[in-house]
């Protein structure tokens, strides 16, 4: 039975690795400037974790196979190098591995979070609510008007609580149900939740960031490929959480300009 068990462990280990090696399921395509660093970090981690996984499982299987049927009168033997050798190996191998992953991973993280958006980054505000995203563009004046929570109303389609009567900056703000951005231009996404915790996740954009009620956050990114992508919520926000989504359209600058004009006309 021990030998069957050992073979089973090896088959499971190999079977688990095959979909990874065959790229049956992979990270979605990357369409961001900062994404390659994250993807490289992911690939390096997969290589190191994969080798550790296979080596450990194979060793476990091999020892089960070899030491479960001892010869009569066989003596207990100690692993060469004993416990201290293994502890040193763990510190050196895994210590080096995690240090390398940590340092290089920090670089990838810093590329997303430790750099401010460029001065000419295009501001877009996203409002999260049960169970929809709404987007706001500042209009020709380049300024967002203030939010008035007491004016927020789905019924009146005032999703951001804008007071266009009294706030001059709000007058030209453009509110949309879908997000469009120009390709190869940095976007500064200002995040606000009107009700609960939500999240903004676009797998292809390599962006995931929670909305925190009471705390306005922002992320910035540059999309590099024209196309239509899904924005999904990853923070449990209630019964319609699974259906909280919007589309992100990455457009050529010309198409984006005409789209924005079209949206402005519809306000």
Partner 1 sequence: MHDMSAHVAPHGAPTSFIRKHVFSLDHKVIGKQYYGLALVAVFAGMVLSWLMRIHLGWTNFAIPGLHFLSANGAPGNVMTPEYYLQLMTMHGTIMVFFVLTTAPFAAFGNFFLPIQVGAEDMPFPHFNMMSFWVTFVAFLVLVSSFFVSDGPTLGGWTQYAPLSAIGAIAGPGQGLGVVLWATSIALFCVGQLLGALNFITTTLDMRTKGMSLMRLPLSAWAWFITSVMGLTAFSVLMPACILLILDHMAGTSFFVSSNLVINDQLQSAHSGGSTLLWQHLFWFFGHPEVYIAIVPGLGIVSHVLITNMRRPMLSHRVLIYSFGALAVLSYMVYGHHMFVSGMNPYSSLAFSFPTLIITIPSTVIVLIWLGSLYGSKLRINTASLFALGFISMFISGGISGFFLAQPSIDIMLHATYFVVGHFHLVMAVAAIFGIFAGTYFWFPKMTGRMMHEGMGKLHFWLTFVGAYCIFMPFHYLGIAGNVRRYQAFVDDYLQPLIPVHRFITVAALLTGLAQFIFLYNLIHSRFKGAPAPDNPWEATSLEWTTATPPPHDNFAGKLPVVYHDPYQYGIESSSGDYVMQNSPERIKTAYDEK
Distance CA 116, CA 121 (A): 10
Our finding on whether 184 is near partner 1 (CB under 8 A) is no
Our finding on whether 130 is near partner 1 (CB under 8 A) is yes
Residue choice 90, 177, 257, 258 for contact with partner 1 (CB under 8 A): 90
| Cα end-to-end distance, the chain, whole Å | 73
Residue choice 149, 157, 165, 265 for contact with partner 1 (CB under 8 A): 149
Our finding on whether 141 is near partner 1 (CB under 8 A) is no
Please give the residues from 155 up to 174 whose contact with partner 1 meets the rule CB under 8 A: 155, 161
Query: Could you tell me which stretch among 8-16, 132-140, 170-178, 248-256 binds partner 1 (CB under 8 A)?
Result: 8-16
Distance CA 48, CA 40 (A): 12
* Cis bond upstream, residue 71 (ω within 30): no
DSSP letters, 27-73, are PPPP-BSSHHHHHHHHHHHHHHHHHHHHHHHHHHHHHHHHHSSPPTT
Our finding on whether 267 is near partner 1 (CB under 8 A) is no
Residue choice 7, 98, 118, 177 for contact with partner 1 (CB under 8 A): 98
Q: Please, is 205 exposed, middle or buried when counting C-beta atoms within 10 Å of its C-beta (0-12, 13-18, 19+)?
A: buried
Q: Could you identify the residue written with the tokens 């073979």?
A: 7
Give min distance, CB of 189 to partner 1, in A.
13
Residue choice 190, 197, 225, 249 for contact with partner 1 (CB under 8 A): 197
Please give the residues from 14 up to 53 whose contact with partner 1 meets the rule CB under 8 A: 16, 19-20, 24-28, 37-38, 41-42, 45-46, 48-49, 52-53
User: For residue 127, what is the enclosing H or E element?
Assistant: strand 122-129
Which is closer to partner 1, CB of 164 or CB of 234?
234
Residue choice 57, 164, 184, 224 for contact with partner 1 (CB under 8 A): 57
DSSP letters, 158-176, are BTT---TTT-GGGTT-EEE
Our finding on whether 212 is near partner 1 (CB under 8 A) is yes
Residue choice 36, 105, 117, 123 for contact with partner 1 (CB under 8 A): 105
Judged by CB under 8 A, the number of residues near partner 1 is 102
Give min distance, CB of 130 to partner 1, in A.
7
Please give the residues from 232 up to 261 whose contact with partner 1 meets the rule CB under 8 A: 232-243, 245
- Inter-axis angle of helices 2-21 and 35-67, to 10 degrees? 170
Question: What value, to the nearest 5°, has the Cα angle with vertex 23 and ends 22 and 29?
Answer: 160
Residue choice 102, 116, 119, 254 for contact with partner 1 (CB under 8 A): 102
Which is closer to partner 1, CB of 70 or CB of 253?
70
Distance CA 225, CA 33 (A): 10
Distance CA 151, CA 158 (A): 7
Give min distance, CB of 74 to partner 1, in A.
7
């Amino acid at each position: 039975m021990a030998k069957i068990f050992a073979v089973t462990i090896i088959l499971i280990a190999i079977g688990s690795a095959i979909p990874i090696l065959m790229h049956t399921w992979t990270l979605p395509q990357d369409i961001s400037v900062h994404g390659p660093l994250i993807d490289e970090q992911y690939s390096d981690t997969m290589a190191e974790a994969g080798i550790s996984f296979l080596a450990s499982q194979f060793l476990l299987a091999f020892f089960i196979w070899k030491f479960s049927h001892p010869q009569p009168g066989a003596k207990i033997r100690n692993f060469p190098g004993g416990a201290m050798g293994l502890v040193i190996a763990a510190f050196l191998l895994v210590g080096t591995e995690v240090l390398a992953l940590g340092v290089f991973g920090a670089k990838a993280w810093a590329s997303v979070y430790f750099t401010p958006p460029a001065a000419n980054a295009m501001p877009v505000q996203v409002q999260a609510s049960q169970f929809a995203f709404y987007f706001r563009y500042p209009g020709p004046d380049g300024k967002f008007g203030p939010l008035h929570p007491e004016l927020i109303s789905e019924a009146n389609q005032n999703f951001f609580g804008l007071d266009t009567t009294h706030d001059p900056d709000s007058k030209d703000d453009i509110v949309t149900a879908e997000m469009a951005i120009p390709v190869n231009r940095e976007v500064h996404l200002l995040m606000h939740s009107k009700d609960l915790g939500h999240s903004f996740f676009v797998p292809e954009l390599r962006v995931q960031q929670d909305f925190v009620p009471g705390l306005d956050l922002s992320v910035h990114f540059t999309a590099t490929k024209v196309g239509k992508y899904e924005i999904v919520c990853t923070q449990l926000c209630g019964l319609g959480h699974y259906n909280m989504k919007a589309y992100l359209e990455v457009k050529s600058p010309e198409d984006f300009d005409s789209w924005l004009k079209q949206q402005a006309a519809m306000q």
